[in-house]
Amino acid sequence: MQSKASAVWEGDLFTGSGRTSLDSGVATDMPVTWASRTEQPGGKTSPEELIAAAHAACFSMALSNGLAKEGHPPARLATEAVATFDRTDAGFRLILMELSVVGDVPGIGEEEFVAAAAGAKEGCPVSNALKGNVEIAVTARLG
Q: Are residues 89 and 23 in the same domain?
A: no
Give the closest residue to 111 by CA, choosing from 138, 82, 134, 141.
141
Domain span including residue 133? 47-142
pLDDT of residue 24: 96
pTM confidence score: 0.94
- Tell me the per-residue pLDDT of 46-103, one tens digit each, with 9 for 90 and over: 999 999 999 999 999 999 999 999 999 999 999 999 999 999 999 999 999 999 999 9
Q: What is the tally of structural domains in the chain? A: 2
Q: Are residues 69 and 126 in the same domain?
A: yes
Q: Are residues 59 and 112 in the same domain?
A: yes
d(CA 21, CA 9): 12
Q: Are residues 30 and 54 in the same domain?
A: no
